[in-house]
Amino acid sequence: MGRSDALLQKMTLEEKIGQLNMVAASRVVTGPGELRDLQEGIRTGRIGNLLNLWGADETRAVQRLAVEESGLGIPLLMGLDVIHGHHTIFPVSLAEACQFAPDLWEKTARVAAEEAAEDGVALTFAPMLDVARDPRWGRIIESPGEDTWVASRMAAAKTRGFQGRDLAAPNSLAATAKHLCAYGAVTAGREYASAEVSERTLHETYLPPFAESVRAGVAAIMPAFIDVSGAPMTANAKLLQGWLRGIVGFEGVLISDYNAVAELLNHGVAADLVEAAALALNAGVDIDMTSGAYIQCLPEALDRGLVTMATIDASVRRVLELKERLGLFDDPYRRGSPPAQAARGPDRRELARDAARKAIVLLSNRTAVLPLAPKIKRLAIVGPLAAAPGEMLGSWASAGKPEDVVSILEGLKAALPQCQIDHAAGVDIDGQEIGGIAAAIDLCASAEVVVLCLGESAGMSGEAASRTDLGLPGRQRALAEAILDLGKPVVVTLSSGRPLTAPWLFERADAVLATWFLGHEAGHAVADVLTGTFNPTGRLPLSWPRDVGQVPIFYNELPSGRPYAPGVHYSSTYLDLPPTPQFPFGHGLSYSRFALSDLRCKPTRVKAGDTIEVSLAVHNESPLAGEATLFLFARDPVASIPRPLLELKGVQKAVLAAGERTEVTWRLPIKDLSFVGANFEPVLEPGRFEIHVGQSADPSRLLSCAVELMT
């Protein structure tokens, strides 16, 4: 008999339910009464899991209570939102997505896991895999962007990075894929609202990244707070049991979102907490995060016949098995024991800097003002995000400290010691005060170039931070227009957790960069790109809207019966704007210039089971070495159901010296051209498939070839 079964035989009902109970340890600091409750809960076995506690000493102290003072000595599982770094803070997830670099995604997760594990944490509530197409939704900052293929690559890379090769290793964390599912589709981008999504879209767009995380061995999954097409996810047995455990074969632990079990009452599907607890448990939710519904009400749910002991036991077994896999039974203190400094691996700040500069997207460079001239003597750095270290940490800072951030101002000063750099904020991020604009203008008078650092505060995106206005907050537009009116070269950095709509800015500024929230090395990274020490490689993982009225906006739409045609009234557009984005998915400039040609598919007549080779020539036409990013899209133009205009199937990068020409080749299995059929099985229909390759999803700039799938 395994350890879990042996333990189960000894456990009281209360001890069993304790293993399904996760409590926020932040209570520890809110008052002595609650501290006593927490200690008492651990000792009596009523609390089996904690969140929001870290630090070697802090975690060791509570672990000792569980191991030495509780009846069965079962170690605690301690979870934390280690999202984009723990002590060392990397770019926010949306910015990381701009790297299109699974190796780097894995590396930053590995370092985050090592640091958090040193602090006694055993599980992270990441990766967040919600495909997001609506920037009103604040949590788009935590997402991998609009594309399912990208989200799936991120699922695998982050899971590998957090979990390492062996979950029991002292530097591994259990990963939690979240939030299953379609959270990004909340109505009108409003936080916690309902998501109305067809079965097909669920299976084609929102679920595949979760299936991919399961294939990568993810230890835990978190259902979303919301309801999907009327089924609250915390009680959604069809998806959690039927699809996730049944079809995908997930055997790990399901952890509710914060207080979500009790919130089933608000959803209107449970009359009391007892029913809520029963619904969630029966749907397969093993751990109740903070609502207290399980610990308070599962005994009564048993009495009322709403749940069975077998269901409780199955959940307890899964939790114990996770603790076992994490090595907690063998050595409950294996995390929370910092290794010798020498064992810490490559310099984390260097990795943070590399990750940050690779996340920056050069949106425009109209007058080739960038890179800055090496001999530049005088620079004005203006705007409320220039010297705002705390904001650079983004929406989940974990243990990261603002005092460790290199601000944009500091980064540029360090990079340009010969240059006189003057700084004024001009306006606040979100205030109405414009008194500082005049001084900022004066400061610009003698500058050769103005770097204008605009954007949002970190708190304007993330959870519970939806916005209806996607423009620059406060009086930043007034500041920007006053500076643009000076007629000097103006470079704009946009620090934000979402794309910001500002067509007037893109029209007038000499260069604009999406710099998101880049973490501890933000300033060095921005300076690397502005000075040309680093030739930008970041690409947009989402379509950047011109106006909030266009959202949700994404490239892989279904074809319309009356497709958009400029100037044609009865075509799919708006009266006041074209339907096209400001910048398409995949957009991002380099200081080099690449030309693509000679796209070929080989062979062109294929059978199911074959693999084709798609190749093209890439030419660096510029006198500067650089990296090109190539996107491969497929389209099935005639099928039994309409297929999207473009579907991403692969991304490759080519590093080219000045003037160099190279060939890039993909091997594309024909099975990748299948779609989700009536029974949610993959269907491959014979006929012609188009293959398109380009530097973004801009349809007017794609190269195309075709293959014929024979019957």
Closest CB to ligand BGC among residues 30, 597: 30
Closest CB to ligand BGC among residues 448, 463: 463
**The token pair that represents 3 in the structure block:** 């350890």
Q: Using the rule CB under 6 A, is 191 a contact of ligand BGC?
A: no
Closest CB to ligand BGC among residues 34, 191: 191
**The token pair that represents 253 in the structure block:** 């632990």
CB of 175 to ligand BGC, least distance (A): 12
CB of 178 to ligand BGC, least distance (A): 6
Handedness of CA 578, 580, 583, 587 (dihedral sign): negative
Q: Using the rule CB under 6 A, is 178 a contact of ligand BGC?
A: yes
The one among 162, 258, 591, 689 contacting ligand BGC by CB under 6 A = 258
Closest CB to ligand BGC among residues 26, 198: 26
Whole-number CA gyration radius for the chain? 26
The site map against ligand BGC for 119-138 (x = CB under 6 A) is: ------x-------------
Write the DSSP string, 95-124: HHHTT--HHHHHHHHHHHHHHHHHTT--EE
Closest CB to ligand BGC among residues 52, 70: 52
CB of 703 to ligand BGC, least distance (A): 40
Active site residue 576: no
CB of 511 to ligand BGC, least distance (A): 35
Q: What share of the chain is helix, strand, coil (3-state, %, to 5)?
A: 35, 20, 45
Contact 121, 429 (CB under 8 A): no
CB of 118 to ligand BGC, least distance (A): 20
Q: Which residue is nearest to ligand BGC (CB)?
A: 125
Closest CB to ligand BGC among residues 149, 225: 225
CB of 26 to ligand BGC, least distance (A): 10
Classify 245 as helix, strand or coil. helix
Binders of ligand BGC in range 457-486 (CB under 6 A): 463
Catalytic, out of 257, 286, 288, 510: 257
CA atoms of 110 and 168, how far apart (whole Å): 14
Q: Using the rule CB under 6 A, is 294 a contact of ligand BGC?
A: no
CA atoms of 640 and 206, how far apart (whole Å): 22
CA atoms of 253 and 19, how far apart (whole Å): 12
Task: Tell me, by CB under 6 A, how many residues bind ligand BGC.
Answer: 7
Cβ contacts of 531 within 8 Å, gap of 6 or more: 371, 372, 374, 415, 416
Binders of ligand BGC in range 529-558 (CB under 6 A): none
Q: What is the DSSP letter of 692?
A: E
Q: Using the rule CB under 6 A, is 257 a contact of ligand BGC?
A: yes
Write the DSSP string, 410-428: HHHHHH-TTSEEEEE--S-
Cβ contacts of 496 within 8 Å, gap of 6 or more: 455, 456, 460, 461, 514, 516, 517
Nearest to residue 156, comparing CAs of 118, 211, 222, 225?
Answer: 211
With 0-12 / 13-18 / 19 or more C-beta atoms within 10 angstroms meaning exposed / middle / buried, residue 445 is exposed
Nearest to residue 215, comparing CAs of 275, 129, 145?
Answer: 129
Contact 237, 231 (CB under 8 A): no
CB of 424 to ligand BGC, least distance (A): 37
Q: Using the rule CB under 6 A, is 81 a contact of ligand BGC?
A: yes
Closest CB to ligand BGC among residues 191, 610: 191
Closest CB to ligand BGC among residues 127, 644: 127
Cα 442 to Cα 230, 455, 525, distances in angstroms: 57, 22, 28
Contact 693, 599 (CB under 8 A): yes
CB of 51 to ligand BGC, least distance (A): 6
CA atoms of 480 and 454, how far apart (whole Å): 8
Residues forming a β-bridge with 326 = none
Cα 372 to Cα 368, 512, 529, 533, 656, distances in angstroms: 9, 13, 9, 10, 22
Contact 284, 241 (CB under 8 A): yes
Determine the angle formed by the axes of helices 309-325 and 293-303, rounding to 10 degrees. Answer: 150
Q: What is the DSSP letter of 85?
A: B
The site map against ligand BGC for 40-79 (x = CB under 6 A) is: -----------x----------------------------
Closest CB to ligand BGC among residues 170, 462: 462
CB of 142 to ligand BGC, least distance (A): 8
**The token pair that represents 639 in the structure block:** 């099928």
CB of 521 to ligand BGC, least distance (A): 25
Closest CB to ligand BGC among residues 194, 537: 194
Contact 227, 182 (CB under 8 A): no
> Which residue type occupies 188?
A
Which residues of this chain interact with ligand BGC, rule CB under 6 A? 51, 81, 125, 178, 257-258, 463
Q: Which residues are identified as catalytic? A: 257
